[in-house]
Homo-oligomer: A and B are copies of this chain.
C-alpha cells in the first residue's frame, strides 16, 4: 500500500483543468463527500472527510469519513457491517467536494434503518413539510447498532 499524497493548490487553471488532485479542505479541515449507490445511482448519504480519512479511503478502498459529532475517524460499516466499497471517487471543478460511487454492503446506509438517508422529499408551503418516500425500514437499527 502506497501512502497517498495530494498536490498543492496553485491556481484556477491547475485546479480545474489539470490532472493534479488538490482537494480543498474547509477551515475545519473537512471536505463534503456524497455517497451514491453504484448499482441504482441513488444518493445514499452526505458526510465529511478530513485529509487523513480521505487518504485512508483511497488506500483501503472503503469509505472512511470524519465524524463531526464524535470528532473521530469513522470507518463506515465497522459497527453495522454496512461497509461502502469504493467503486469510483469523483471531484468537482474547484475540488472542494467529492462524490463516492460505492457498493453499499448490507441493508442500507442510514442509521435509521433505511437504504438511503434521503428518504423524505420537501413539499413547499407555509410551513414547508416533508413526505416519506422510503417509509419501510430495510433493517432494524437496534439489531445492527449495539447501544
Contacts and interface: CB of A to CB of B under 8 A. Distances in A.
A interface bracket (residues with beta carbon within 8 Å of B): 35 or more
A4 B120 contact: no
Nearest to A3: B126
A73 interface: no
A89 interface: yes
Contact of A121 (B36, B88, B126): B88
A32 B133 CA distance: 21
Nearest to A59: B124
A118 interface: yes
Given A17-B112, A126-B4, A92 B41 contact: no
Contacts of A122: 21, 58, 89-91, 98
Count of identical protomers in the assembly? 2
A51 to B, nearest CB: 11
Given A16-B112, A90-B120, A117-B93, A128 B43 contact: no
A41 B40 CA distance: 9
Nearest to A96: B46
A132 B18 CA distance: 9
A106 B90 CA distance: 23
Interface of A: 2-7, 16-21, 32, 34, 36, 41-43, 45-46, 58-59, 88-93, 97-99, 110-112, 114, 117-133
